Homo-oligomer: A and B are copies of this chain.
Amino acid sequence: MRPHASRAEIDHVCDRIREFGYRVHSIEGEGRVVIGVVGIGDVTACLESLEATPGVESAVRISAPYKFVSREFRKERSSIRVDGLEIGGGEFIVIAGPCSVESERQIMETAEGVAAAGARMLRGGAFKPRTSPYDFQGLEGEGLKLLRKAREATGLAIVTEIMSDRDVDLVAEYTDVMQVGARNMQNFALLKSLGSCGRPVLLKRGMSSTINELLMSAEYVTAHGNPNVILCERGIRTFETATRNTCDIAAIPVLNELTHLPVILDPSHATGKRSLVPALARAGVAIGADGLIVEVHPCPEKAVSDGAQSLTLEGFRAMMRDLAPYVELWKEGRATGARAAA
């Protein structure tokens, strides 16, 4: 309550809280009253109602607003099965591939290259979210078919982006993991429809979304029936312009404390610059991510999108060699039962 709130105001607030089905505990100090609220109910509406009530200085939530995705709901890590693999289990999973599927030759060459170097899944966009309507928007259905071809040739599981709830059935037919891009992290119509898509979801953090909002979006998918959500830190928007985004790498151990869901790192979007990717990938392994998603292109300078941040196939091979001893340490950490990030 504000200092010097009247008794009538205080009583009115207590009544409002009880109307929402909560119990009330008030603390009276010098010149100020603090009211505690305990129970189960529509928390957001209650908080907003209280903020709008005369005499209230502020209404603060103490407990977390999500349930199914929380560590309190499930203490042990979740591992998510994708076509024989497990993300969040005892193996460090590298997903690699081009930003966009451009041609059969490009996607096949990339798929074979990254598989040989140790990647376990193939990424590639058939539907592309582009800031400009004049930029390449993806091969769409044709791109999905090329991804299936690459899957058949290499055995790599496929991760591709879904941009509209209209396309859920179509994309689910072709892909192993449904990727939600940063710009759609709060496209709630899409999140709801993914609750019943029958595929694991890779949910990328919005470029200005808090960790709490990322978990709430995961809760949307889960509450609508799909517990198989993989989270992805890919950098947030800040004032710094030296990198495309600012990698909030500490979000990984923060998430490991708050949720049982697996968390992977995208060092390509986080930096926007090829030369920085291997160093950040090492950091991602060391901090305890469950995997990486990395952009790779056979000829980055001819890529129709994200060329500047794509590794060449040779660059990807070098990165995988460089990561190997860090991945060994990572496995030891998992095997000894300790969470790598704990």
Please list the residues of chain A having a beta carbon within 8 angstroms of any beta carbon in chain B.
3, 16, 23, 25, 27-30, 32, 34, 36, 38-40, 42-45, 48-53, 57-58, 60, 62-63, 65-66, 72, 129-137, 163-167, 183-184, 186-190, 192, 206-208, 210-213, 216, 219-220, 223-224, 236-243, 246-254, 257, 270-271, 274-276, 279-280, 282-288, 300-308, 310, 325-326, 329, 340-342
As for how many copies of this chain the complex holds, the number is 4
Closest B residue to A246 by CB, please name it: B248
A51 near B308 with CB under 8 A, answer yes
Q: A25-B25, A133-B224, A250-B279 are in contact. List 19 more A-B contacts (CB 8 A).
A: A25-B27, A28-B38, A52-B303, A131-B216, A134-B223, A236-B238, A236-B246, A239-B239, A243-B251, A243-B254, A247-B248, A249-B283, A253-B276, A253-B279, A253-B280, A279-B286, A283-B284, A283-B286, A326-B329
Whether A65 contacts B34 in the complex (CB less than 8 A), given A270-B250, A287-B283, A308-B48, comes out as no
Residues of B within 8 Å of A270, CB to CB, are 250
A52 near B274 with CB under 8 A, answer yes
Residues of B within 8 Å of A248, CB to CB, are 238, 240, 243, 246-247
Q: Can you list 11 A-B contacts with CB-CB less than 8 angstroms, sorted by A residue number?
A: A28-B38, A32-B62, A52-B308, A52-B310, A133-B224, A163-B189, A164-B189, A210-B239, A236-B238, A253-B275, A257-B275
